[in-house]
Structures are given as structure tokens and as C-alpha cells.
Amino acid sequence: MGLDAFAAVCCAIPVLVSLLAVRVAYVLWRSGLPPKKPHAAGLRCLIVLGSGGHTAEMMNIISELQKDRFTPRYYVAALTDNMSLPKAQVYEWSLIPAQGGREKIIENGQFTQIYRSREVGQSYVTSIATTLLAVLHAMWIVTRIRPQVIFCNGPGTCIPLCASAFLLKVLGLGWSSIFYIESIARVKKLSLSGLLLYKLRLADQFFVQWPQLQQKYPRAQYAGRLM
């Protein structure tokens, strides 16, 4: 590379950084505002499932949605979670009316697994590689689905998925409205996932189920008890 080309690259870097900063600022400002145009068709919906109580809470939330508005629904759970996706499948089957003895076929629900960033008890050194793998996998999932709405309520698997969706917003490759509902088990402080999404402003709408949490985190919205 010649000196002139090198100088041109050096001059271009500040401009690109400035444009990126402006784009990030726009995305942060635009997040949370109502959509510019109403969607006539259903919204592609990505639903992040945790394990145990996280899944129970999320399925309770999903059961209250307008099914014709939030469709198709893509359920994502950690690769080591063998319980959450079967529960989602049972729920989707329950939405299908009887078909005269024919086997039910789920058309509006899709199910996939994602690598977990860090297992319980895993060392922080080895978690660096697994976190990178989880981020790449999350980017592939979000790019493939291009969800218009994301629902999550605290499992660690939601962080790389929400970060990937935010990156697509910045790059102008898609727009996802991220709805985060903090677990009812969090009474006095946010979970680590919730705290990251709150501090980084990745969530378009941030809900808590205890009024004292809303007082402590004023940008959160108090939704009341959802369980």
C-alpha cells in the first residue's frame, strides 16, 4: 500500500467512526417508538426460553398474545436445555384444532437451539471460547429469521440474540423490537441479563413485575404480576 492510499484510509476511519456513532444514536433514539407503518400481516416473533421458571413465565406470557398478530413464532432455547422446547411444542399443538383423526402439523411454530455462553460452574477462561461460539450462532439465527419482535425474560441465552438483533439494526439489515420482561423472582434487583439490557439500552420495552424495581430503574415499566 502506497503512502497516498494509507493516508486516504487513515482519513476515512474517523468519518466511518462518526457515521457509525450517528447510526447507533439514531437506533437508540428510534428504539421504543411505535412502528412507522402498521403491519398488515403477522409479525415474525422470536421467543427466548430459559429453563425451569423462566420457561414457565414466558409460556404464560405467550399464551396471552394475539396469535394471528405474532406469527410465525420461533422458539429458541439453550442446547443443553432438554425441557423448554418440548413445552413450547405442546403449547403450539394445543392451538391446532382437531383434524378428523389426522396428525397435527405445527405450521406457525418453529423450534431451534443455541449454544450457551457459559454453563453453571464453567471456568471463565473456557467460557471465552464458548461465548464467542454462542455469539456467532446467535448472529446466524437472527440473520436467518430476521425477527420483527423478540420476547425474553432473563436467561443468559437472550444476550447474544438481543445483541445480534441490535447489530442488524445498526447495519440497516433488519429491525427487531425487543421486549424484555424481568422475572417475577427478581424483587429487589435486576438479573444480570436484565441489567445488561437496561444499561446498554438494547431493549425497546423493559418491564418489571415489582414496583420497587421500577422506582430503582426509572426507564423500566411496571407491568404488575404476570404469573
pLDDT above 50 (res 76): yes
Predicted confidence at residue 225, as pLDDT, reads 80
Mean pLDDT for the chain? 83
Predicted confidence at residue 6, as pLDDT, reads 45
| pLDDT-derived band at 208, boundaries 50, 70, 90 | very high
- The domain spans of the chain are 1-30, 39-222
Residues 6+ apart with CB under 8 A from 209: 181, 182, 183, 184, 186, 222, 223, 224, 225, 226, 227
CATH code of 39-222, in short, is 3.40.50.2000
| pLDDT-derived band at 52, boundaries 50, 70, 90 | confident
pLDDT above 90 (res 16): no
pLDDT above 80 (res 39): no
Beta carbons of 143 and 39 less than 8 angstroms apart: no
pLDDT in tens, 141-173: 999 999 999 999 988 889 999 999 999 999 888
pLDDT above 90 (res 8): no
| pLDDT-derived band at 226, boundaries 50, 70, 90 | confident
More confident residue, 49 or 128: 49
More confident residue, 196 or 106: 196
| Nearest residue to 210 via CA among 199, 225, 195 | 225
Predicted confidence at residue 38, as pLDDT, reads 56
DSSP letters spanning 157-191: THHHHHHHHHHHHHHTS---EEEEE--TT-SSS--
pLDDT above 70 (res 207): yes
